[in-house]
Structure 1
């Protein structure tokens, strides 16, 4: 897969719509619960989520409905200025939760001073192109070059 980049000054505003969930930052006392949830549903991203939840304020946002986690998104975790990982429960997909987690995360990245963000090892390339105008970086993902253990 390839990395992508996005201009943070051209991302859309978060859409205010009637929804049954809320997007918010993980609180310190929720760290274990969130990491356990990620371990259960997205085990390959547990370590990055742990890093994102280990700082204060956390660099991890969650979508919550009635105290149930529906999805998560991390930023500034694997590397500086990187968005991801992110994931939404399969049963909750197609409702805009992933899109809202993405938009909220990118606004947080812009707020801390970045003009551009990198989407590391982007899976749904077409989604990122359409949703936020992201562009593929013309070389393999830095994660492929880094070759983690």
Structure 2
């Protein structure tokens, strides 16, 4: 999967989330619940990155929730400067536009931090990112920053 780059200068407005849902910054008191949920839904690697984003103040993790139910999350400026991701939406909440809302709001927050370009690391759904925000793949042959994770004991 390629890394992608997107200009932050002409982003679309953040789409509304469905009624009854809220897109908001993660709160410190929800840290354990969020990290545990990400670990269950998406694995240890993403949980580690989310934990890192939750260690900042303000947090660099956005969530979508319905009441006290977590539906999705997105990290920004966590793994590397100006990077979006990881991000994920629970299977039962896919198709509601939550991923697009998390993406665009995260990119707006990168722009507010002074970045001109944002990067989408190890982008899975390339066509989604292209259509949603005009992202393009970083040219092949340019070395990315991701390395093989260490083995756990």
CA separation of 1:18 and 1:93: change in aligned 2, threshold 3 A: closer
Q: Secondary structure of 2:3's match?
A: strand
* Aligned 1:54-93 pairs, distance under 5 A: 54-93=55-94
Gaps of 5+ in 1: none
Match of 1:131 in 2: 132
- Shift of residue 14, structure 1, vs aligned partner: 1.2
RMSD: 1.5
Report the equivalent of 1:4: 4
Structure 1: distance between partners of 2:33 and 2:113: 26
Which residue of 1 is the match for residue 122 of structure 2?
121
Partner of 1:47: 48
**Structure 1 residues 30 and 18, CA gap change in structure 2 (3 angstroms):** closer
Aligned mates of 2:41, 2:60 — CA distance in 1: 19
Q: What is aligned with 1:33?
A: 33
TM-score of the pair, normalised by structure 1: 0.93
| CA apart distance, 1:18 | 5.1
Say which SS state the counterpart of residue 12 (structure 1) adopts: coil
Runs of 4+ in 1 over 3 A off after TM superposition: none
Which residue, out of 132, 140, 144, partners 1:142? 144
Q: Which runs of 5+ in 2 are unaligned?
A: none
The size of the alignment, in residue pairs, is 148
CA distance in 1, matches of 2:57, 2:72: 20
What is the distance in 2 between the residues matched to 1:42 and 1:72? 11
Alpha-carbon distance in structure 1 between the residues aligned to 2:37 and 2:120: 23
Residues 15-34 of structure 1 deviation map (CA, whole Å, 9 limit, x = unaligned): 24652211000111111111
- 1:95 matched to which residue of 2? 96
Q: Is the 8 A contact 1:121 1:143 kept in 2?
A: no
